Amino acid sequence: MQCLDQATARLAGLAHDDWDQLKQALIGRSRAIDAIIGWIAAEQKASRPVNPELAGHLARDIENGAAFLVRMALNCENTQADLLCLGRELQILHSLSFTAARKPPVIDCQG
């Protein structure tokens, strides 16, 4: 549980543009979740009930993780919108530069 708490808190404290740190934090959180899943399965196999406090704690961690994923999805959408805008601006810039290059540099009498 401590590993999951620490990994979730680490995610909340990271800058959203530090992709390497985010990746490592998500990997750590995934490992913590896998360990908890294994522990719960072992408890169920041994016919021991899961402590209600533990279930509440897990629910809070899941909510915190879901809130982080929502923030990441919003950041992703904002980044995609920014890239789309930059792509349009780049296309306009290329169009303007090619248009200027097509004009003949000298006026001739034949054309």
User: Is 24 domain-assigned?
Assistant: yes
pLDDT band of 21, cuts 50, 70, 90: confident
CA separation for the pair 54, 33 (Å, rounded): 13
Higher pLDDT among residues 15 and 101, named by residue: 15
Can you give the residue range of the structural domain that contains 29?
Answer: 2-102
Q: How confident is the model at residue 5 (pLDDT cuts 50, 70, 90)?
A: confident
pTM (two decimals): 0.59
pLDDT at 72: 83
**Helix ranges restricted to H, the chain:** 2-13, 19-45, 52-102
* Average pLDDT score over residue span 22-49: 86
With respect to residue 40, please indicate whether it lies within any of the assigned structural domains. Answer: yes
Stated as kind and residue range, the H or E segment containing 49 is none
Would residue 110 count as lying in a domain? no
Q: How many domains does the chain have?
A: 1
Q: Is position 33 within any domain?
A: yes
Q: How far apart are CA 68 and CA 8, in angstroms?
A: 9
